[in-house]
């Protein structure tokens, strides 16, 4: 596996980003790439926003006039991605997570904010790689199975709690 650079920015100031979330996001991005057999160097951008900002982005870029939990902005098409000439890393795209909605959904589904943000990150990474659950029931099922498989490997599946293994991060 090559290097994975995940640029994380917090563009909201309403909700606290729990300790360990940035590491969890990096781990989720890496796990998706490993599960897909992608062995090059990659770069992903992840931004935390509030509901107003994700609503604006959803309206402006998808013509959907409501907020959502996460948006993916892939920089590639059909497995072809732009490459940063300085780092030789493939630029996969941008992930935008509404922290406000993530907290609401964690409460609704009865799991931790770590589980919710982990799920949203894995879900969005799969979108950056070309998966689309809106293409039909089969594609939706395939994507859901991949999400749960990856989350299970990370120790944050629906049946498990958020587990931190410091030795795992140093690999």
Domains (range + CATH), the chain: 4-161 (3.40.390.30)
Query: Is residue 23 over pLDDT 70?
Result: yes
- Candidates 51, 28, 56; CA nearest to 121 is 28
Give the Cα separation of 162 and 38 in Å (integer). 25
Query: Is residue 103 over pLDDT 80?
Result: yes
In percent, how much of the chain has pLDDT > 90?
A: 74
- Candidates 107, 113, 117; CA nearest to 48 is 117
pLDDT value at residue 157: 67
Query: Is residue 141 over pLDDT 70?
Result: yes
Confidence band (pLDDT; 50, 70, 90) for 77?
confident
Confidence band (pLDDT; 50, 70, 90) for 162?
very low
Query: What's the pTM?
Result: 0.88
DSSP 86-144: TT--EEEEEEEEEHHHHHHHHHHHTS-HHHHHHHHHHHHHHHHTT--GGG-HHHHHHHH
Give the Cα separation of 58 and 56 in Å (integer). 5
Our measurement of the distance from residue 97's CA atom to the centroid of its chain's CA atoms, rounded to an integer in Å, reads: 8
């Amino acid at each position: 596996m090559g290097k994975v650079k995940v640029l994380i920015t917090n563009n909201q100031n309403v909700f606290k980003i729990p300790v360990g979330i940035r590491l969890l996001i990096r781990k989720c991005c890496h796990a998706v790439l490993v599960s897909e057999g992608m062995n090059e160097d990659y770069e992903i951008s992840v931004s935390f926003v509030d509901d107003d900002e994700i609503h604006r982005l959803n309206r402006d870029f998808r013509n959907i006039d409501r907020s959502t939990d996460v948006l993916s902005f892939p920089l590639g098409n059909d497995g072809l991605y732009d490459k940063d000439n300085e780092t030789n890393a493939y630029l996969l795209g941008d992930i935008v997570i509404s922290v406000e909605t993530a907290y609401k959904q964690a409460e609704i589904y009865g799991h931790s904010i770590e589980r919710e943000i982990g799920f949203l990150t894995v879900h969005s990474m799969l979108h950056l790689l070309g998966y689309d659950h809106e293409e039909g029931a089969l594609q939706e099922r395939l994507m859901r199975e991949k999400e749960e498989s990856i989350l299970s490997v990370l120790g944050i599946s629906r049946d498990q709690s958020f587990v931190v293994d410091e030795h795992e991060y140093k690999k």
